[in-house]
Amino acid sequence: MKEEDIIVGCIKNDRKAQEILYMQFLGAMWSICSRYIDNKEEAIEVLNDGYLKVFKHIDTYKKELSSLNTWMSRIMVNTCIDYLRKRKALKYVSIEEVTEGSDTKIEHLLDDYTSQELISFINQLPRTTRVVFNLYVVEGYSHEEIASFLNISSSTSRWHLTEAKKRLRQIIKENV
């Protein structure tokens, strides 16, 4: 079934088309949810809530603006953030300035690890720090966008990213 046919079917609430869409993107969407939500049952709940939003709003998808995967990923990320906000699971450090020199690169430190090991390392970060790290490094959002999503200042977002990198270096050293 072509992507356009799946989308049209989902718009018409065709269960078969919805199932195909669900299964086609399940791995990618699960990966997003499990990066943000550390409890498996809660992550499944958020995944399903995200898919409900996808099916409810699929008629607003515009293929000329983004791929279906990108559009759905944004919905999943927003669903994760909304879930964490509702649970008041995000704790913010009030910080007004971050030293620019402390924001060193960590990417080269991660080359020798499998994706499963990296996820394990990232999941050891405090929740808000992990969310900021995921939004910035994995999803590619700017600090200004993250600040808007999480209702924090961009300098607080930078602090969480710096803290994530510092803690990841420490976790990696402990696992060498």
CA–CA distances in Å: residue 120 to residues 38, 77, 92, 108, 164: 10, 19, 22, 17, 13
**Amino acid 80: pLDDT:** 92
Q: Is residue 56 part of a domain?
A: yes
**Amino acid 96: pLDDT:** 38
**Amino acid 163: pLDDT:** 94
Domain-ending residue, one of 52, 86, 120: 86
Average pLDDT, the chain: 85
CA distance 67 to 61: 9
**Amino acid 87: pLDDT:** 80
**Amino acid 98: pLDDT:** 37
**Amino acid 85: pLDDT:** 82
**Amino acid 173: pLDDT:** 85
Domain-ending residue, one of 32, 57, 86: 86
Which helix or strand (DSSP H or E) is residue 3 part of? helix 3-11
What's the CATH number where 51 sits?
1.10.1740.10
Q: Is the same domain home to 21 and 80?
A: yes
**Amino acid 155: pLDDT:** 94
Q: Is the same domain home to 23 and 67?
A: yes
**Distance spanning both ends of the chain, measured CA to CA:** 47
Domain with 104 in it: 100-174
CA distance 157 to 145: 10
**Amino acid 97: pLDDT:** 35
- Evaluate whether 1 touches 20 at the Cβ level (below 8 Å): yes
Q: Is the same domain home to 53 and 118?
A: no
pTM (2 decimals)?
0.70
Q: Is the same domain home to 124 and 164?
A: yes
**Amino acid 89: pLDDT:** 55
pLDDT in tens, 110-127: 556 676 777 788 889 998
What's the CATH number where 129 sits?
1.10.10.10
Looking at per-residue pLDDT, the higher value among 171 and 94 belongs to 171
pLDDT in tens, 51-77: 999 999 999 999 999 999 999 999 999
CA distance 35 to 144: 21
pLDDT at residue 107 tops 80: no
Q: Is the same domain home to 77 and 29?
A: yes
Task: Of 67, 161, 47, 171, give the one whose Cα is nearest residue 109.
Answer: 171
Find the range with the poorest average confidence among 2-6, 32-36, 83-87, 141-145.
83-87
